[in-house]
Amino acid sequence: MREAVLKRRLLLIRGLGHSGTTILDLALGAHPQLIGLGEAARILQSPGPGEENRGPSQLRGALRFERRCSCGAIAADCPVWGDLLEWLPANDRLPLTIKMQRLLEAVDNASGTTPTWVVDSFQDDFHLPFHHADDLEIRIIHLTRDLRSWVHSRSRDGRRRGHWWPGLKPLLRWCRINARYESWLLRCGKPVFRLGYEELALDPEATLRRLCCWLQIPFDARMLRPHRHSSSHQLAGNRVRFDAQRSGAIQYDGAWMKETSVLAQMALMLPWVSSLNRRLVYSCSEVDAVKSPR
């Protein structure tokens, strides 16, 4: 029997920071049936004690008149975020699901139509705040970057500070968080698409075609030119969203190949680490999640 009310469709991008979530959000937002909202859940969550000076809290105040949205407008004037940021301080005690519904209504009003999918790319989030929202259909993309590439990227600060083993902490974090992510997503009960950053960046068209097929929408070539065509409204996330050169096309940063982390290479000699890296990064496919009880 056909449902009387069509469910809203929310696509969550999850994974470690600096794994390509921003460029993927922009690329998806270039599709006419999708709108990317960046780290929307992070902005909507009520700020906790000690978070007064963090971006999401400050966006409720003066920062919204200074920070620019990826759509080009100042946050306070953004057709999606503007009124919502003014509304949030007096309504922060409301459940996150109600705040998200308010945001989705703003998306509809701004675009004049209901997008097939709305994209949230909040990183390092190990809970589904909308898990029991019956009026939302949720799917998840688990985006992972190759261990060697990610460790090289995150080791730069350590090298500048003269640490003896600058890649050790990032290496341990990659293994711990990604193993936890894989286990968590297998139990979440939602459709999950496992996506490797390397596959996305090295063969963007083929990868985005597979992703569009999973989302049940036609591929659109505008996704290959995110900066030019994206309709995303990102207020939080990597500043690559404002860089026309870096977000003009989906390109691979292979800098790690010139300065390979010895620790990362040694870690890949461990069978379980090598298997995890291969499974998460180079096995672009849908994952069979276990249905969790309600």
Dist. CA 226–CA 247, nearest whole Å: 6
Model confidence band, residue 189 (pLDDT cutoffs 50, 70, 90)? confident
pTM: 0.87
Residue spans of the domains in the chain: they are 8-287
Intra-chain end-to-end CA distance of the chain, in Å: 22
What amino acid occupies position 235?
A: L
Q: Dump pLDDT digits (tens) for 246-271.
A: 667 888 888 888 877 788 888 999 99
| Mutual angle of helices 168-187 and 147-154, in 10-degree steps | 130
What amino acid occupies position 173?
A: R
Q: Dump pLDDT digits (tens) for 151-180.
A: 988 886 655 655 556 688 899 999 999 999
Over residues 201-211, the mean pLDDT reads 95
pLDDT number for residue 3:
43
Average pLDDT, the chain: 85
pLDDT number for residue 217:
95
Find the Cα–Cα–Cα–Cα dihedral 15, 134, 234, 185, rounded to 10°.
0
Determine which of 19-28, 91-100, 153-162, 281-290 has the lowest per-residue pLDDT on average: 153-162
Strands of the sheet containing 8-14, edge to edge, are 34-36, 117-120, 8-14, 136-144, 192-196, 285-287
Q: Dump pLDDT digits (tens) for 91-114.
A: 999 988 889 889 999 999 988 888
Q: Dump pLDDT digits (tens) for 45-90.
A: 888 888 878 878 899 999 999 999 988 899 999 999 999 999 999 9
Model confidence band, residue 224 (pLDDT cutoffs 50, 70, 90)? very high
Q: Which residues pair with 9 in a beta bridge?
A: 137
Strands 8-14 and 117-120: parallel
Determine which of 122-131, 136-145, 267-276 has the lowest per-residue pLDDT on average: 122-131
CATH 3.30.40 fits 8-287, yes or no: no
CB atoms within 10 A of CB 7: 12
Distances, alpha carbon 197 to alpha carbons 28, 61, 167, 204, 284, in Å: 14, 35, 20, 10, 10
pLDDT number for residue 2:
40
Q: Which residues pair with 8 in a beta bridge?
A: 136
Res. 293: pLDDT tops 70: no
Distances, alpha carbon 156 to alpha carbons 45, 240, 265, in Å: 31, 18, 17
Res. 288: pLDDT tops 70: no
